[in-house]
A = this chain, B = another copy of it.
C-alpha cells in the first residue's frame, strides 16, 4: 500500500465530511416543523433529503461492502428510497410530508450512524483488489455529487415551503439586499453577444474529473453559426415583457404553456406578487405569491430572506421553460440549444467565487455563462449518441428520465461550490418553476449551414 493511496483516502474522507457537513449547515436554520412540510408534490421535506442522502450511502456503499453492516432501521429503506424500482417498494413521493415519524432527531441519529460507518469504510486500506477499490471510490464520489444535488433541492424546496406560510418567514435574514447602485440604464442597451461561426464541435464530458453518465459519451455535433447573449435576462426586461402583455398574448406561447397560463392564472414569475398587497392581503393563486393578480403598481419578490421589492438589475428567476420560451419569442431572439451553450462555455470558464451559497439569491454574473440562475435551453433531455445506462439500480439514476424534460445549463446561486461544469446537464419538466431558473438569449448568425 503506497502513500498515495493513503493520501487519496484522506482526501476523499475530507471531502465526504465537508459535503455531509454542508447539508447539516443548510438544515440548521430550520425548525422541526419546517423540516416536515411538503408544500407540493415536487417538494420533499428537509428531513427527507437528509435521510435520503444517507440512505444512498447505506444502500450503495455500506450494505454491499460489509455483510455485517447493521442498517439503522428496517423501514428506512422503504421510507428513504426515492425512485429506484430495482430496490423494492417505497413510500409514495407525494406523501413524504404525511409522515411525522421518523422525526428530525431520528434523522440526525441516522446521519450519524451512516457517517460513522462511512468513516470506517473510507479509512480502511485498499484490500488489494484494485478495481473493486476504484469502484468504491467512484461510488463515494457519486454519492457526494448526489448529496450536492439534494443540497440545491433542499434550498429550492424550503423556499417553496416558507413562501406558502402567510407569515412569509425568512430562511436567513438579510441575505438578499437590493444593490444600492442597481441601475437599469445598462439594461436598455441589451446584452452583448458571444459569436460562434458554427461547424463541427465536440460536446460531452471529457474528464478527468467526475461527470454524470448523462454527460457521456463525448461526441460531435454540427452547429449553424450563432451568437449567445453575454448575460442572462433581467427582472427589468421581464417587467417590460409583462407590461407588453406577455402573459396575455397566446401567439407568444407554446400551446401547452398557454394552457398552464390560463389554468393557473400565471401573471408573473413564481414568488412575485404585487407590492401594494402589503402584508395584509392574501397572495392567492397557484404555487404561492407568484399567482397573484398583479395591480399595475410595483412588484415584490419572495426570497430566502423574506419578501422585498423586485430589483430590475438582477437575473429573472423562477420561470418555467414555457415562460422562458415565450419571452424569447417576444424579443425576436430564441433560447440556445444545449450544444450551443456548452460550446460557448468551453472557452469561458466560470470566474472564481461565482457559486458561494452566501447570497442564496441570484446576482448578475457578467462575463461568464455560469452562475446566478440555471438557464433553460431549447433542447429536450435526450440520450447522447452511444449513451448506455449503468447496470443495476444505479442505471436508474439519470437515463429513465430522458423524456418530457428540458435541459438547463449553467448553475445557480444555490448550487453548491464545485458541483457544475461546462458539460453538466440539469433537467426539469417544462412546467417547473421552483428551480432557480432563468434564461439567456441566443440568435442565428448569417453564414453557411
Contacts and interface: CB of A to CB of B under 8 A. Distances in A.
Interface of A: 31-39, 47, 73-75, 78-79, 83, 85-86, 89, 91, 95, 97-104, 161-162, 164-167, 169, 200, 217-224, 250-251, 253-258, 279-280, 282, 321-322, 325, 337, 378-380, 382-383, 385-386, 395-396, 400-404, 406, 430, 444, 449
A79 B33 contact: no
A99 B165 contact: yes
A162 B36 contact: no
Given A219-B449, A404-B430, A99 B224 contact: no
Contacts of A39: 98
Contacts of A102: 167
Given A32-B33, A99-B166, A378-B382, 12 more contacts: A33-B104, A34-B100, A34-B101, A75-B166, A86-B250, A89-B282, A100-B165, A102-B167, A217-B449, A220-B222, A220-B224, A379-B382
A342 B401 CA distance: 26
15 contacts: A32-B104, A33-B47, A33-B104, A36-B100, A37-B97, A78-B166, A99-B164, A99-B166, A100-B161, A101-B165, A219-B224, A220-B222, A254-B401, A255-B401, A378-B383
Contact of A256 (B32, B98, B404): B404
Contacts of A79: 166
B167 A101 contact: yes
Contact of A400 (B253, B279, B403, B404): B253
Contact of A386 (B217, B224, B253, B396): B224
A282 B101 contact: no
Given A33-B36, A379-B382, A449 B400 contact: no
Contacts of A444: 385-386
A263 to B, nearest CB: 13
Name the 9 nearest CB pairs between A and B, nearest first: A380-B380, A85-B250, A32-B32, A222-B222, A33-B100, A34-B100, A255-B400, A33-B103, A33-B36
A380 B382 contact: yes
A396 B255 CA distance: 9
Contacts of A223: 385
Contacts of A396: 251, 255
A407 B81 CA distance: 34
Contacts of A162: 100-101
A54 to B, nearest CB: 16
B430 A37 contact: no
A282 B78 contact: yes
A166 B91 contact: yes
A83 B250 CA distance: 11
Nearest to A76: B166
A225 to B, nearest CB: 10
Contacts of A255: 83, 396, 400-401
Contacts of A322: 403
A187 to B, nearest CB: 26
Contacts of A83: 255
Contacts of A258: 85, 400
Contacts of A220: 222, 224, 449
A342 to B, nearest CB: 15
Contacts of A95: 164
A222 to B, nearest CB: 4
A114 to B, nearest CB: 18
